[in-house]
């Protein structure tokens, strides 16, 4: 936009596209600033900076239409492909320098990239063995109160999940649980062990890719899952098996949220989509549709695994790539 006449026309066209997608008209200086930021994003893409090693630009890619209105999903996907090609080449150069075998193709690169080793510092956390008593049972009977005993815990966690200034620690989780006398030792062990795992996750794309509020949201749905699972006589499981399920879901959701911020270009398939969108919608429909507690658990699990299918590579192995 060096030529004044051309610049005026370009700014007018920019604002026309911006208003067409519901935006507010910007000044010429603001348009020029946004164009400069867009050029920075493209430069970062050409350098293959995808969020690893603290080089976090995922949100800029995902929100690139805010900088350059009128750009469509196909264009963003083209930028994404260019990003990963550059990133693979960059990683191959580093591997060759270390005397390691480079990636032969994009499939090998994506298999490596989508591993939790690339999103979580130190790799995927290991679920510990909970300190359960031999007499501890998962199913709590058919008393109607069983289905709502964690309601105050869920409400407290939900409030923290909607607080952008919230912090997340195991000690805070202990305080939330201590305020509800209806919890038993199985509830406490499962939720505290899951909280410990969540607190310990260090996101390689930075804190913004897994903030405290999203950790609370994951734990909130962990509590919902435990409540419905323990109210379901259909499920035969030990407390440790339930802990494994809950912890696995929490780690996968964390991995997905970090990966979404690192690489995706418009889907928001992290906790925003999986929990705050689809799972909340499911929760609002349970009563209307007459879902049993077992049906609620299965619906939640299906939602988690469907939406995490983009990065949960174990699903591919289990199905031999069929139906994915």
Q: Which residue has the higher pLDDT, 59 or 37?
A: 37
Q: How confident is the model at residue 112 (pLDDT cuts 50, 70, 90)?
A: confident
Lowest-confidence region among 9-18, 64-73, 201-210: 64-73
Cβ neighbours for 162, distance < 8 A, ≥ 6 positions apart? 213
Average pLDDT over residues 180-194: 94
Residue 30 lies inside a defined structural domain of this protein: yes
Query: What is d(CA 275, CA 280) in angstroms, rounded to the nearest whole number?
Result: 6
Instruction: Give the range among 210-214, 222-226, 283-287 with minimum mean pLDDT.
Output: 283-287
Q: Which of 61, 90, 113 is the C-terminal boundary of a domain?
A: 113
Tell whether 84 and 136 lie within a shared domain: no
Secondary structure (3-state) at 163? coil
Per-residue model confidence (pLDDT) at position 89: 92
Residues 129 and 105 in one domain: no
**Is residue 143 located within the same domain as residue 274?**
yes
Question: Do 199 and 277 share a domain, yes or no?
Answer: yes
Averaged over 256-272, what is the pLDDT? 73
Answer whether residue 267 shows pLDDT above 90: no
4 has pLDDT over 60: no
Q: Which residues face 203 on adjacent strands?
A: 120
Please give the Cα distance from 258 to 218 (Å, whole number).
13
Task: Note whether 288 and 207 are same-domain residues.
Answer: yes
Round to whole Å and give the CA distance between 33 and 68.
11
The pLDDT of residue 119: 85
Tokens of 309: 């299918």
Write 130-134 long-range contacts (CB < 8 A, 24+): 130/189, 130/190, 130/193, 130/239, 130/240, 130/243, 131/189, 132/185, 132/186, 132/189, 132/238, 132/239, 132/240, 133/185
Give the confidence band of 117 by pLDDT, cuts at 50, 70, 90: confident
* Separation of alpha carbons 308 and 269, rounded Å: 8
- Together in a domain, 104 and 191: no
Both 42 and 66 in a single domain? yes
Residue 79 forms part of a structural domain? yes
Q: Which two tokens stand for residue 210?
A: 């897994």
- C-beta atoms surrounding 317 within 10 Å: 9
pTM score above 0.85: no
* Average pLDDT score over the chain: 85
Whether 42 and 106 map to the same domain: the answer is yes
**Domain assignment present for 311:** yes
Q: How would residue 182 be classed by pLDDT, with cut points 50, 70 and 90? A: confident
Q: What percent of the chain has pLDDT over 90?
A: 46
Residue 214 lies in a domain: yes
12 and 155 assigned to the same domain:
no
The answer to whether residue 120 is domain-embedded is no
pLDDT at 176 over 60: yes
What per-residue confidence (pLDDT) applies to 41? 76
The CA-CA-CA angle for residues 112, 116, 120, to 5°, reads 125
Domain tally for the chain?
2
pLDDT of 5 above 70 = no
Rounded CA separation 241/96 (Å): 43
Token output for 23: 């935006």
Position 194 pLDDT exceeds 50:
yes
Q: How far is 283 from 300, CA to CA, in rounded Å?
A: 9
Which residue(s) pair with 120 in the sheet? 203
Looking at 113, 147, 169, the residue that finishes a domain is 113
Q: Structural domain of residue 173, as residue ranges?
A: 125-319
Q: Which of 58, 49, 53 is nearest to 89 (CA)?
A: 49
- Answer with the one of 60, 85, 113 that is the final residue of a domain: 113
């Amino acid at each position: 936009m060096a030529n004044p006449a051309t610049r005026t026309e370009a700014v007018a066209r920019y604002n026309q596209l911006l208003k067409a997608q519901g935006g507010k008209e910007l000044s010429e200086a603001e348009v020029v600033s946004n164009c400069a930021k867009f050029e920075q994003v493209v430069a970062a893409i050409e350098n293959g900076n995808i969020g690893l090693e603290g080089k976090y630009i995922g949100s800029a890619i995902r929100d690139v239409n805010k900088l350059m209105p009128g750009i469509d999903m196909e264009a963003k996907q083209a930028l994404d492909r260019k990003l990963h090609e550059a990133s693979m080449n960059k990683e191959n150069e580093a591997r060759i320098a270390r005397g390691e075998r480079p990636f032969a193709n994009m499939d090998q690169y994506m298999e490596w990239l989508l591993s939790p080793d690339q999103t979580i510092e130190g790799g995927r956390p290991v679920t510990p063995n909970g300190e359960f008593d031999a007499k501890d049972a998962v199913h709590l009977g058919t008393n109607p109160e069983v289905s709502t005993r964690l309601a105050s815990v869920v409400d407290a966690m939900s409030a923290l999940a909607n607080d952008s200034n919230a912090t997340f620690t195991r000690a805070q989780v202990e305080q939330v649980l201590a305020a509800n006398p209806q919890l038993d030792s199985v509830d406490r062990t499962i939720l505290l062990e899951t909280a410990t795992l969540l607190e310990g996750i260090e996101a390689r794309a930075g804190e913004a890719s897994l903030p405290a509020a999203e950790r609370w949201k994951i734990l909130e749905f962990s509590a919902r899952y435990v409540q419905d699972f323990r109210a379901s006589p259909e499920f035969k499981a030990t407390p440790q098996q339930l802990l494994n399920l809950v912890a696995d879901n929490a780690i996968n959701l964390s991995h997905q949220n970090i990966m979404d911020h690192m690489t995706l270009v418009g889907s928001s398939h992290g906790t925003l989509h999986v929990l705050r969108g689809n799972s909340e919608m499911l929760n609002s429909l349970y009563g209307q549709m007459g879902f049993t507690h077992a049906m609620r658990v299965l619906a939640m699990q299906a939602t988690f695994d469907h939406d995490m299918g983009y990065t949960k590579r174990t699903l591919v192995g289990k199905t031999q790539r069929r139906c994915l």
